[in-house]
Amino acid sequence: DQQVKQNSPSLSVQEGRISILNCDYTNSMFDYFLWYKKYPAEGPTFLISISSIKDKNEDGRFTVFLNKSAKHLSLHIVPSQPGDSAVYFCAASDRESNFGNEKLTFGTGTRLTIIP
């Protein structure tokens, strides 16, 4: 049962344009969402997070949007840069029910390639 889904295994975007990565979830108990970026031979690097009480969170070039009614979130990167080429994972947790146990449920990842 895949509770967090990233339906696009790969995405190619021209340098300077906007990259939009999508994530859907099925568990309505999820109340905290994160995006991680992963380069080969490295562990995932935290990018940005959003709590379910918000619908948008911005940090520099990265913005995460949350649509709770659709159980959908997206990560926008603008402008896209060659160093953004990596695998991006969406993750979710149910913090209210599992306070102190921040079990993360991950999607399968989207490989983003920025074309110079």
Partner 1 sequence: ETGVTQSPTHLIKTRGQQVTLRCSSQSGHNTVSWYQQALGQGPQFIFQYYREEENGRGNFPPRFSGLQFPNYSSELNVNALELDDSALYLCASSGSETQYFGPGTRLLVL
The reply to whether 106 sits near partner 1 by the rule CB under 8 A is yes
Contact status: 43 vs partner 1 (CB under 8 A): yes
Q: Are 79 and 16 in contact (CB under 8 A)?
A: yes
Phi-psi region of 70 (alpha: psi -120 to 50; beta: other; left: phi over 0): alpha
Applying CB under 8 A, which of residues 10, 26, 97, 108 lies at the interface with partner 1? 108
CA 9 to chain centre: 13
Are 29 and 94 spatial neighbours (Cβ–Cβ below 8 Å)? yes
Residue 85 Ramachandran class (φ > 0 left, ψ -120 to 50 alpha, else beta): beta
Q: Does 100 bind partner 1 (CB under 8 A)?
A: yes
Q: Name the minimum Å distance from CB 74 to partner 1.
A: 17
**Cβ distance to partner 1 smaller for residue 44 or 66:** 44
We find the least distance from the C-beta atom of residue 15 to partner 1, in angstroms, to be: 26
Q: Provide the CB-side half-sphere exposure for 113 (13 A, CA).
A: 6
Q: Which stretch binds partner 1 (CB under 8 A): 10-18, 42-50, 52-60, 68-76?
A: 42-50
Nearer to partner 1, 62 or 79 (CB): 62
Q: Which residues sit at the interface with partner 1, rule CB under 8 A?
A: 4, 32, 34, 36, 41-46, 49, 89, 91, 98, 100-109
